[in-house]
Copies of this chain bind each other. A is one copy, B any other.
Amino acid sequence: MAVGDVTMPQMHVVQGVKIGSAEAYVRYPNRRDLVVFEFAQGTNVAGVFTQNAFCAAPVRVSKTHLAQANPRFLVINTGNANAGTGKLGLENAQQTCVKLAELAGVQEFEVLPFSTGVIGEQLPMERVLSGIQPALDSLNENAWVDAATGIMTTDTTPKGASEQFELDGVTYTMTGISKGAGMIRPNMATMLSFVTTDAPISRELVQLMLKTSVEQSFNRITIDGDTSTNDSCIFAATGAAGGDEISEVGDARYSAVLEILSRVMKRLAQLIVRDGEGATKFITVAVEGGANTQECCDIAYSIAHSPLVKTAIFASDPNWGRILCAIGYAGLDNLDVEKVQVWLDDVQICKNGGAAEDYTEEAGARVMSQAEMTIRVDLGRGQAKDTVYTCDLSYDYVKINADYRS
């Protein structure tokens, strides 16, 4: 069960974007596990990908293709990550692009492949390839919910965000989807996320906007500290709603669209945490008073990755010593613990490095029992701050990851 409100909003149509899907039986029968995106001619596309050295075959192919041209199609399968699959895996990812290109009448390098699922097994190519034509046949503008559902693996809920906005009298739309739900500590992007707009944005700025917004969204969430082999995030601007192209960062419309993109990306990233494997709590770890943002992130991730902190939160046990402990081993040089303050929401648990005098177990337990809480840390040594989002560690996390392959 996901934490908090994870309802799909109304998923507005993005002009210039069509989505199709098919049941390819990649891993499980009767699932629309093959999803295809078509972008109108002239769409500018940017992507960020995992920094895992064992990045999956489709990630390698996508990076190569994206460097050559703007893609016209994305093809995504779930159930199999096509990672750790060597030369054959690479050929399979390429062959998927070739087949789609052939059927759709575009160049191979205008297709980007994506895979998510179990690592180390070869794709069932016959089934994948035979799913492409039905997926193309079903292309239509109003299939965002199908797409969000199609790319799910251990996700319990499809994830989407959608906004409409006006610039210079033209109404534009931004709509995107994402998926989690384990092996999540993105480093460049999350498992899979696809965000599109029909606003006209230059290719250069599409890339810049994606990088900027990923940094504060997908690069600030963690479920289990495992950076996936397949993390990919795509941002596409079709321009199909008309208007002059946004091609300068000085353009007021640039900031306006970036703000919306950042909000959509943050929502999509947080949805992944809310639906983290076994998650029962949504936790914001906000660190301030750091000398620089890197050390704020180091502290935040140290807390967010601590199995002891995460199990205590699962148990609603205000065992705050574990938070101090995680701060202590984050590896900051010359941390003066007597300047450290820690709060659970509005309850100060640690004052100047020790227990706050007016702290009570009851007050701590009240916050810890909530479905959502903020752990706020003030390091008292500078002006930098940063925030990371995570969830708790429950029996179900172990169950999900021990009982079957995802």
Contact = CB atoms under 8 A, between A and B. Distances in A.
A403 interface: yes
A343 interface: no
Given A226-B308, A319-B405, A321-B81, A51 B118 contact: no
Interface in A351-406: 352-355, 393-395, 397-399, 401-403, 405
Contact of A119 (B55, B118, B227, B325): B325
A133 interface: no
Contact of A354 (B85, B182, B305, B395): B85
| Chain A, interface residues (CB within 8 Å), range | 35 or more
A229 interface: yes
A307 interface: yes
A124 B310 CA distance: 28
A194 interface: no
Nearest to A182: B308
A306 B229 CA distance: 14
Nearest to A396: B398
A324 B395 contact: no
Given A308-B182, A354-B87, A325 B398 contact: no
Given A225-B305, A305-B225, A398-B394, A83 B311 contact: no
A83 to B, nearest CB: 6
Give the oligomeric copy count: 2
B354 A86 contact: yes
B398 A311 contact: yes
A126 to B, nearest CB: 19
Given A53-B337, A183-B325, A118 B319 contact: yes
A219 interface: no
B86 A324 contact: no
A225 B307 contact: yes
A312 B393 contact: no
Identify the 9 closest CB pairs spanning chains A and B, nearest first.
Answer: A119-B321, A86-B354, A54-B328, A120-B321, A315-B402, A227-B329, A52-B328, A311-B401, A53-B328
Interface of A: 51-55, 81, 83-89, 118-121, 182-183, 185, 187, 224-229, 305-308, 311-312, 314-315, 317, 319-322, 324-330, 332, 335, 337, 350, 352-355, 393-395, 397-399, 401-403, 405
Given A311-B402, A317-B405, 8 more contacts: A52-B329, A54-B337, A81-B321, A121-B321, A183-B325, A187-B329, A224-B307, A225-B307
